[in-house]
Chain A
Amino acid sequence: MSKRQRIVVVGHGMVGHRFAQAAVERGLTETHDVLVVGEEPRAAYDRVALTSWFSHAADGDGDEALTLLPGGAYDDPRVRLVLDSVVTEVDRAERTVTVVSPPAAVGDPLAHPGAVTVHEYDVLVLATGAAPFVPPVPGRGLAGCFVYRTIEDLQAIKAASATATSGIVIGGGLLGLEAANALVQLGLDTHVVEMAPRLMPVQLDDAAGSTLVRHIERLGVTAHTDVLTEEVEGDDRVTGLRMRPAGTEQGAPTTTVEAQVVVFSAGIRPRDALARECDLAVAERGGVLVDEQCRTSDPAIFAIGECAAPGGTMYGLVAPGYAMAEVVVDALLDGPGTFTGADMSTKLKLLGVDVASFGDAFARTPDSLELVYSDAVAGVYKKLVVAESDAGSFRLLGGILVGDASAYGVLRPMVSSGLALPDNPEQLILPAGGGVRLGMPDDAQVCSCNDVTKADILHAVTEQGCEDVAAVKQCTRAGSTCGSCVPTVKNLVEEHFASVGKVVDKGLCEHFRLTRQELFDVVAVHGYRRFDDIVEAHGTGRGCDVCKPAIASILASQTSTHVLERGTAELQDTNDAYLANIQRNGTYSVVPRIPGGEITPEKLIVIGEVARDFDLYTKITGGQRIDLFGARMEQLPAIWRRLVDAGFESGHAYGKSLRTVKSCVGSTWCRYGVQDSVGLAIALELRYRGLRSPHKLKGGVSGCARECAEARGKDFGVIATEKGWNLYVGGNGGAKPAHARLLAGDVDTGTLVSYLDRFLMYYVRTADRLQRTSTWIEQLDGGLDRVREVVVDDALGLGAELEAEMARHVGGYADEWRATLEDPEKLARFVTFVNAPDTPDPTVSFTTERDQIQPIAPALIPVGAPA
């Protein structure tokens, strides 16, 4: 039996980790021991998603959320991970590496006595990544200057931002813009400085760059393009950045932008120092030179990831690094794998700005054609680069999308597949074309980060038993890195299930293939007001008890039409159709609104009198109000006439709409209360009453953290603080209880209301039918963070629009019962028998229990049962 071989991996970043993982999965550890030495204090984490550390950090789990190795160790004991340690030297003759721990000991053994160990290797894998390039600008070493690469960098930026008011990012590339957005999120007045005449010069052309500037500025970032940085100003701390126009000489007039934080994002350089020191060949522009098997000039040493330069080119993306890791494992298993270059497509992960660039974006291929669609008002720029074949068909070579990159997931794989495009390829970027639908060949690469093809995804579904997108993601890794391919993965999985007749149809019902959200948009765009128009244009048949109430709800959210208007009344679910809740014997319950649970003695007396006079069963509900049961349909108008005259309104217990906003007594009476929770609960209940939504909505307001109103068990819950209000969203009781989570803390009442307006309207617009807020948030791409981006940060720029929609609702509100009583046509429906209005329904009768009525099960009543 041959001796076990030793592999040493230098660097535990994304690629070093992928190597170790592949070594375990592909059986390399059967014959090899692996030692991984990593310099950072923690195991490999998702650097691509680094920026999301800020939002996770707010929840206290920044590190765990990003880690690629939960638990911090590999399951396979033959892989050993040593962290917080640096490889300082490679001895190629002896085949050893020297490791110093902790890294602070390097170069200063006296100040930091570190442990020094020497390890033998048979195979050495360099995966040392890259380091940010900091241009030699005077002042670049001042306190307040940072780079953007590790969790420690982000921790430092966050700490410095706490006392800063403005920040500058040097470099307007992909990473620079991501960093700039982070500074905005940290509350800094943010500037980006770029030497080139446009942002993202590597990926975008001029027109796309200037479209991008408009989007970036809407996010609150000031872009300075075509400028050179002269000096970072300050004595020991940064105070500002001095710059001059590009193309001017040194000494030309300069301008200074004030800032207390400066982030350098001017490119990266491969970390190839170890290789240089042991005389391995390096590429002209840096990076360890390797062949197609990622072997360096020493056959026992490989280099992978950002530190490597296959054929002289380094790749600053994770996907090529992953491919290289797989190639080396393959080589060690005597496999045929090679790395011959990679797709450099990119999609910006910036909040709310869609930017993508893929393939031959600059039309460098001879005889290629450019198709451009641009809409300056909407901030959309789309360019496709295509080649026309002799046969007259088109092939996609590349493209740029700004402002709307929804087609990216479909277009990018088109480039590698070489599939012929439709005859009029411009349809792919014209807005009227809607979604792009193209057959994709099996070998089209869907996920470029993890090199997953369409065939791999179908295999996972058909052979590996994956039942949904989440399982496919786990099984193939597709979508687990940058996430830009997730919509395409989802489409493929859904299409497949549809093709084998499995019901994953997102459509509402047999009459509509659209989801509720899609229908909502269709109705908004076309301004439909009638079911007939909607079903004729977008559906089939005549509707059912699923789509009709959903459309009724959508129409009600967009207009303030009364639910019993002719043509609308017939769409309503039973309860809405009679503005009351049907009971098990066919009678109805009556629930007047009691905002916040506060009620005067006079009103209590009226409720008592009405209940007595109509012989209704009364009960205090779980929602701080009173329910009157056992009303016959034809009695409803008379009951409500009495209630409306006494100043009551509909409580919408029947609607998918706001129910109650529960309150506790709060600061008015309670010795612990810090704010007027009753007052706020009443104001919120009155503001949102009547709002039709995908499911019912409940709210709560507590006067202090003791939380007697159970606000966190509601769709929106407000808890008073010394400084204002904490707003929680996404809670409910019921079948699947959920605790509401914090959306914004310590806000004043005005801010609270505007956040709530936005939150509720965003929910009304985009949730599925019968989806409570908790499940909606859970299923939203990005979850609560996404909600916060839209509602609090206004990343989509939708805030004003959502608030205006709510203002329209509030302004258009009218009590449904009062309006019904005033309209003979609406009242006409409240009869049991059209031809015998005075005959009550003979199947309804009651007995008495605990001094109140109780229904007798209709089956026991011996009247006119059908033959």
Chain B
Amino acid sequence: MTATRTTQMTEMTWTAVCAVDAIPLEGGVAALVDGQAVAVFRTHDGSVHALGNIDPFSQTSVLSRGIVGSRGDAPVVSSPMYKQAFDLRTGRCLDDDSAGVPAYDVAVVDGRVLVGAPREAT
């Protein structure tokens, strides 16, 4: 879920990564957030999601380069390496229950994308 803008946002917890328009619709970009590679995606309806960029199956930093689409009701990205799908909302791998990537809080403020902290796994 996209985090709502709150007044206690500080530079510490949120990193501005790029203009929202820099992310193509149904595409992704990678950003460095606190030294971690984070993949930031935009879906068809314009909503923004962020996941860890490292594909757990190949250990490569590539998820942002995957194809964004849907599986059932879930918005997903499929890894460019071996094609497993990850739910953009939770980071859960839909092809392997035991795998997943962290999902990050993300917000769009004044046309800029801000990435927050990784969320607790649900």
Interface residues of A (CB under 8 A from B): 510-511, 532, 541-545, 547-549, 566-567, 569-571, 573-574, 577-578, 582, 584-586, 828, 831-836, 839, 841-844, 857-859, 864-867
Query: Closest Cβ of chain A: how far from B32's Cβ, in Å?
Result: 5
Q: Please report which residues of chain B, range 13-52, place their CB below 8 angstroms from some CB of chain A when the two chains form the complex.
A: 15-18, 22, 24-27, 29-32, 35-37, 40, 43-44, 52
Q: A841-B61, A843-B59 are in contact. Are A541 and B69 (CB under 8 A)?
A: yes
Q: Please report which residues of chain B, range 69-95, place their CB below 8 angstroms from some CB of chain A when the two chains form the complex.
A: 69-72, 75-76, 78, 80-81, 83, 85
Most chain B C-beta atoms within 10 Å of own C-beta, residue among A542, A567, A839, A859: A542
Give the distance in Å from the alpha carbon of A839 to the alpha carbon of B31 in the complex.
10
Find the B residue at minimum CB distance from A543: B69
Please tell me if the beta carbons of A566 and B24 are within 8 angstroms of each other in the complex.
yes
Please tell me if the beta carbons of A569 and B27 are within 8 angstroms of each other in the complex.
yes
What residues on A are CB-neighbors of B71 within 8 Å? Answer: 510, 541, 544
What residues on B are CB-neighbors of A834 within 8 Å? Answer: 17-18, 22, 29-31, 40
Is the CB of B106 closer than 8 A to any CB of chain A?
Answer: no
Beyond the given A544-B70, A582-B80, could you list 6 further A-B residue pairs with CB under 8 A, ordered by the A residue number? A511-B70, A542-B43, A548-B67, A586-B60, A834-B29, A857-B59
Q: Tell me the dominant secondary structure on chain A's binding face.
A: loop
What residues on A are CB-neighbors of B36 within 8 Å? Answer: 864, 866
What residues on A are CB-neighbors of B107 within 8 Å? Answer: none
Please tell me if the beta carbons of B24 and A569 are within 8 angstroms of each other in the complex.
yes
Find the A residue at minimum CB distance from B16: A835
Give the distance in Å from the alpha carbon of A701 to the alpha carbon of B61 in the complex.
41
Please tell me if the beta carbons of A867 and B102 are within 8 angstroms of each other in the complex.
yes
Give the distance in Å from the alpha carbon of A16 to the alpha carbon of B23 in the complex.
73
Give the distance in Å from the alpha carbon of A549 to the alpha carbon of B40 in the complex.
21
Q: A571-B67, A857-B59 are in contact. Are A866 and B54 (CB under 8 A)?
A: yes
Please tell me if the beta carbons of A542 and B26 are within 8 angstroms of each other in the complex.
yes
Give the distance in Å from the alpha carbon of A573 to the alpha carbon of B69 in the complex.
13
Please tell me if the beta carbons of B67 and A573 are within 8 angstroms of each other in the complex.
yes
Find the A residue at minimum CB distance from B17: A835
Please tell me if the beta carbons of A570 and B25 are within 8 angstroms of each other in the complex.
yes
Give the distance in Å from the alpha carbon of A841 to the alpha carbon of B118 in the complex.
20
Interface residues of B (CB under 8 A from A): 15-18, 22, 24-27, 29-32, 35-37, 40, 43-44, 52, 54, 58-62, 65-72, 75-76, 78, 80-81, 83, 85, 101-102, 118
Question: Which of A549, A831, A833, A843 makes the CB contact (< 8 A) with B60?
Answer: A843
Please tell me if the beta carbons of B27 and A841 are within 8 angstroms of each other in the complex.
no
Please tell me if the beta carbons of B58 and A584 are within 8 angstroms of each other in the complex.
yes
Q: A577-B65, A586-B60, A586-B62 are in contact. Are A542 and B32 (CB under 8 A)?
A: no
Instruction: Give the tally of cross-chain contacts (CB within 8 A).
Output: 122
Give the distance in Å from the alpha carbon of A548 to the alpha carbon of B76 in the complex.
13
Please tell me if the beta carbons of B60 and A585 are within 8 angstroms of each other in the complex.
yes
Please tell me if the beta carbons of B54 and A865 are within 8 angstroms of each other in the complex.
yes
Please tell me if the beta carbons of B76 and A544 are within 8 angstroms of each other in the complex.
yes
What residues on A are CB-neighbors of B27 within 8 Å? Answer: 569-570
Query: Closest Cβ of chain A: how far from B99's Cβ, in Å?
Result: 12
Question: Which of A532, A567, A842, A866 makes the CB contact (< 8 A) with B52?
Answer: A866
Give the distance in Å from the alpha carbon of A544 to the alpha carbon of B71 in the complex.
8
Give the distance in Å from the alpha carbon of A569 to the alpha carbon of B27 in the complex.
9
Query: Closest Cβ of chain B: how far from A838's Cβ, in Å?
Result: 11
Most chain A C-beta atoms within 10 Å of own C-beta, residue among B62, B76, B81: B62
Query: Closest Cβ of chain B: how far from A276's Cβ, in Å?
Result: 74
Give the distance in Å from the alpha carbon of A857 to the alpha carbon of B59 in the complex.
8
* Across the A-B interface, the 3 shortest Cβ-Cβ residue pairs: A574-B80, A586-B60, A542-B70
Find the B residue at minimum CB distance from A583: B60
Question: Which of B35, B54, B118 makes the CB contact (< 8 A) with A843?
Answer: B54
Query: Closest Cβ of chain A: how far from B35's Cβ, in Å?
Result: 5
Most chain B C-beta atoms within 10 Å of own C-beta, residue among A574, A836, A842, A844: A574
Find the B residue at minimum CB distance from A532: B44
Please tell me if the beta carbons of A843 and B15 are within 8 angstroms of each other in the complex.
no
Question: Which of A532, A544, A836, A839 makes the CB contact (< 8 A) with B69?
Answer: A544
9 sampled A-B residue pairs with Cβ under 8 A:
A510-B71, A543-B70, A570-B67, A582-B65, A833-B30, A843-B37, A843-B59, A865-B54, A867-B118
Find the B residue at minimum CB distance from A859: B59
What residues on B are CB-neighbors of A549 within 8 Å? Answer: 67
What residues on A are CB-neighbors of B26 within 8 Å? Answer: 542-543, 570
Give the distance in Å from the alpha carbon of A865 to the alpha carbon of B76 in the complex.
22
Q: A544-B78, A574-B65, A833-B30 are in contact. Are A858 and B102 (CB under 8 A)?
A: no
Give the distance in Å from the alpha carbon of A547 to the alpha carbon of B69 in the complex.
10
